[in-house]
Amino acid sequence: MKDGKNKIPPDTDTVVEAEIVDESTPQARREFLAALPPPREPGGFIDTDELLRRLPVSRGTIRNWCRSEKIPYIKTPGRRVLFCWENVANALRRMERGGGW
């Protein structure tokens, strides 16, 4: 392995697409929220990791929004936090218009 003869070549067939979203305009933010796929979990609930994949914010920001009741969430008896994506998106739209701040 040290001589490099048995190395596995990198996967060059994989294509990753990324979209750059300009969040400085309200229209771009609405389009970003509308373009996301529907929730993967039954009942329309997603966990914190899925919410982080959908929103360009940090885990600390999500925690702060929950603590200050800016976004709705459910805390299960097992201390798991779940979100209904539709309700979170609506809360973010209200914050965008200045209604939640």
| pLDDT digits 0-9 by tens, 50-99 | 999 999 999 999 999 999 999 999 999 988 999 999 999 999 988 876 55
Q: What is the pLDDT of residue 14?
A: 54
Q: pLDDT tens for residues 3-56?
A: 555 555 555 555 555 555 565 666 665 666 655 555 555 567 899 999 999 999
> Is the separation of the CB atoms in 61 and 54 below 8 Å?
no
**Site of tokens 């190395």:** 7
Contact 73, 85 (CB under 8 A): no
Q: What's the pLDDT at 88?
A: 94
Return the pLDDT at 47. Answer: 93
Contact at 8 Å (CB) between 40 and 74?
no
Domains in the chain: boundaries: 41-96
Q: What is the mean pLDDT of the chain?
A: 75
- What pLDDT is attached to residue 94? 87
Specify the CATH number of the domain 41-96: 1.10.10
